[in-house]
Chains A and B, each alone.
Chain A
Amino acid sequence: MSNIAIKTDAVIIGAGPVGLFAVFELGLLDIRCHVLDILDKPGGQCAELYPEKPIYDIPAYPVISGQELTDRLMEQIEPFSPEFHLNQMVESLQETPEGSFVITTDDGLVLEAKVVVIAAGGGSFMPKKPPIPGIDDYEGTSVFYAVKRMEEFRDRNILVVGGGDSALDWCLNLQPLAKKITLIHRRDAFRAAPDSVQKMRALVENNDMEFTLGQIKELHGKDGRLEKVTAQRADGLFDIECDTMLPFFGLTMKLGPLANWGLNLNENLIPVDTEKFQTSTPGIFAIGDINTYPGKLKLILSGFHEAALMAQQAFRLIHPDEKLLFQYTTSSSSLQKKLGVK
């Protein structure tokens, strides 16, 4: 393990509301955090699934939206300057002989931490794979659910499927590089930024790309190389020639790589004790929707409580020789200094 890039006290896997509040509770105890998430933004389910919907059971907020809650948490943890690593899927988590933990991501980021907090919620957000027969055969060669390096798509004949922001954005971004680009969507309306829709329509007008109504039914090709797809619309079936397909049907939560980290799992949840919220491996904690214990409620407020108790034990592990004092933020001048209260 020579290529450790970042050493830190704590790594938090998952930037959902519970992961974010963990930064606060750990911060009060002088524990510095790095936070990782596969999403491109913090907030987990609140920001990805229901940013505009109201939540009514956050203490002291009669009503707050998913995005507002995320924004407030970001504001609350700012004094602790957590470092965020977004667009990073945590692939592996291993204990070193010295008892610390090495975390690696799909993008090659490596961190070493004294404690790890798994706040992975319902699992990592992953692109939805349309259940088109035989699609697996083309994944990674002709079918892609995300674009990591645009250059790989130069001179390709690309079919983009969907009507949301990802579909529209990638049409616009790849259009200058692609040999040909076609957008297919089930209706002539888009749930995307009006500006992107306008730009797409202008390209179509100019014959610089195509838009067609329809839904994909079949894929044709061989050896993982796509040659054409059959699509259906109101007037029947038709074929579209293409060598690359990019389906964008939104995201879903899947347990993902954490299934392989050697932790005890119970129906895809991580059992913890209710004193420290520690997993079967000392030093690895699990809080929020991802954990289970008798009486568990998958609520944001439960996750906040779990974060507070977890932080106590994390402190004992990181600073075994120091005494943990119980203090109120209202009256403790040392806590207030950490929070930047003047």
Chain B
Amino acid sequence: MPKITFIEFDGTERTVDAVANSTVMETARRNDVPGIEAECGGSCACATCHIYVDPRWLEKTGERSAMEEDMLDFAFDVRENSRLSCQIKVSDELEGLIVRTPEKQF
């Protein structure tokens, strides 16, 4: 399974094994990675799983869906590389993926 690196706002890095057939959000939750709340449990209904994808990975992680784009209106400090981590499916393609968590989920 691919490894994913989460970098916290203060620079703390954590590399974990992704969980098969899951999402980046679920991988973070199963590995107790802080900085992702996921209040709605991955239904694209809360925007508390907001992350910034390392720019080098933007192509591989794909495009935001229309629903995700709408939900991002409820996140704070949305940037070009903002994604909702529950909407990124883990695959072997993502080996080495790097994402940053915001200072605060909101």
Contact = CB atoms under 8 A, between A and B. Distances in A.
Interface of A: 49-50, 53, 128-131, 162-164, 185-187, 189, 191, 215, 249-250, 252-253
B103 A131 contact: yes
Contacts of A215: 76-78
What's the interface size class on B, roughly?
10 to 19
Contact of B76 (A50, A53, A131, A164): A131
Contact of A252 (B39, B43, B76, B78): B39
A187 B39 CA distance: 24
A228 to B, nearest CB: 19
A321 to B, nearest CB: 46
A129 B105 CA distance: 11
A162 B71 CA distance: 12
Contacts of B78: 186, 215
Contacts of B70: 191
A129 B74 CA distance: 10
A49 B78 CA distance: 21
A165 B63 CA distance: 25
Nearest to A251: B74
Contact of B73 (A53, A131, A191): A191
Contacts of B47: 250
Nearest to A128: B106
Given A163-B73, A250-B74, A131 B45 contact: no
A136 to B, nearest CB: 14
A214 to B, nearest CB: 11
B79 to A, nearest CB: 9
B80 to A, nearest CB: 9
B40 interface: yes
A217 B99 CA distance: 22
B60 to A, nearest CB: 24
A49 B106 contact: no
- A contacts with B: majority SS: loop
Nearest to A253: B39
Contacts of B30: none
Contact of A186 (B40, B46, B73, B106): B73
A129 B39 contact: no
Interface string B12-54: 0000000000000000000000000001100101111000000
Contacts of B76: 130-131, 215, 249
Given A53-B43, A252-B39, A185 B106 contact: no
Contacts of B104: 131
A49 B40 contact: yes
28 contacts: A49-B40, A49-B46, A50-B40, A50-B45, A53-B45, A128-B74, A128-B106, A129-B106, A130-B76, A131-B103, A131-B106, A162-B73, A164-B74, A186-B72, A186-B73, A186-B78, A187-B73, A215-B77, A215-B78, A249-B73, A249-B74, A249-B76, A249-B106, A250-B47, A250-B73, A252-B39, A252-B46, A252-B48
A123 B87 CA distance: 26
* Most central of A189, A215, A252 by chain B CB within 10 Å: A252
A186 B80 CA distance: 11
Nearest to A189: B69
A130 B43 CA distance: 22
A129 B40 CA distance: 18
